[in-house]
Structures are given as C-alpha cells and as structure tokens.
C-alpha cells in the first residue's frame, strides 16, 4: 500500500511568508492539481504543519529577540499556532487529506514523523494501521523538512519516493547536499 505525505505546505513557507521559499506557491498549486487526478492512488494521505507555540522560543528554534537567526538551528518566528502563516496554503485541498499532523509544538521539529494528529496518533502509527509500505513525499522544503521526513521514513523501512516537481528548496547548495544524503539512504527521486 502506498501513502502520500504532504510536508508543511503552509503560508509562512510560501512566497510572502515569514520563511517563504521560492517556488512554494507553485508547489501548492502543483499538489492541488496532482491530488485532483491521483488521490485515489493512495491508501492514505497525511499532511503536516509546523505548529509552534506563540509564547516561547520553542526550545531555541526561534532566534532570540535582537539576534539574527542562523537559518540552521535558529529561525525567524514562523508558523505560530492559530496564525494565518501556520495555515495550509489556500491551494491545498484540505478535504483530500485523511490525517492532519502538527509538529514543533514547543520544540524544534523537522520531520513529520515527530508530530501527531490532534488525538495524539503519530505518523508511524497511521502508516502501520493502514498497512503502508511505500510513500511518496511532496512539500516544503526539500533541504529541511522534506529531507528529515524522507530519512525518517527510510529508517522505518518504508520505500520512499520524492516527487521532484512537487517540492521546493531553501537553497540550491543545501538542496544538493540533502538530495545526496537522501539518495544514500535509498530515497528515490521521480
């Protein structure tokens, strides 16, 4: 059985957002078109969102006030729970998604496997319950949360395919190293 993982296609990660990635809007539109014709190809569809606490630095994930983020371990404030930036991009057809996962609630979290749905069920448990052995991954950003999610899926023994035309990266340099790392872990790019 094959599942689809949609990683962090949120307003703050698309053009105009707090951490906008070039191509984010195009990825959102592409995912919407893809789901219109391919959603029945999947046993389940799971989408993740960064969902950070509004009243703390989320375990050092947000840069301290007055300090510049390093864009490696510290970041500008983004995807704060309940804000427009944390919402799915408006192109994403929410009704096509079977499970909605939130991650980074008070802590740094990159992989969607670090999150859970509102009832506390993890992505790993959802996969086991449905009998998923293969996953396709789409979303933002190739070099951060897509990378972390793909590597965690491989650690669980899942066959992983990243759909090249439905991801966007922060930087060509970090994208290249992330793709190399994923490739070495057995991730396929299509």
CA count, 13 A, side-chain hemisphere, 20: 11
Can you state the angle between helices 147-155 and 172-184, rounded to 10 degrees?
10
CA count, 13 A, side-chain hemisphere, 74: 11
Dihedral sign for Cα 21, 13, 135, 30, please: negative
| DSSP H or E stretch at residue 44 | strand 44-50
Q: Which residues are catalytic?
A: 8, 103, 145
Contact 28, 9 (CB under 8 A): yes
DSSP state of 112: G
């Amino acid at each position: 059985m094959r599942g689809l993982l949609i990683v962090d296609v949120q307003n703050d990660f698309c053009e105009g957002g707090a951490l906008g990635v070039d191509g984010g809007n195009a990825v959102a539109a592409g995912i919407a078109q893809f789901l219109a014709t391919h959603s029945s190809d999947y046993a389940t569809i799971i989408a993740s969102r960064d969902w950070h606490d509004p009243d703390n630095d989320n375990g050092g994930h947000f840069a301290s006030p007055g300090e510049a983020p390093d864009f490696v371990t510290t970041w500008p404030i983004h995807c704060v729970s309940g804000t427009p930036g944390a919402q799915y991009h408006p192109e994403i057809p929410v009704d096509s998604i079977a499970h909605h996962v939130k991650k980074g609630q008070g802590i740094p979290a990159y992989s969607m496997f670090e999150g859970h749905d509102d009832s506390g069920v993890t992505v790993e448990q959802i996969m086991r319950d449905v009998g998923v052995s293969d996953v396709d991954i789409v979303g933002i950003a190739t070099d951060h949360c897509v990378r972390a999610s793909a590597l965690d899926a491989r650690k669980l023994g899942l066959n992983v395919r990243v759909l090249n035309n439905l991801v966007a990266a922060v930087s060509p340099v970090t994208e290249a190293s992330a793709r190399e790392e994923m490739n070495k872990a057995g991730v396929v790019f299509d």
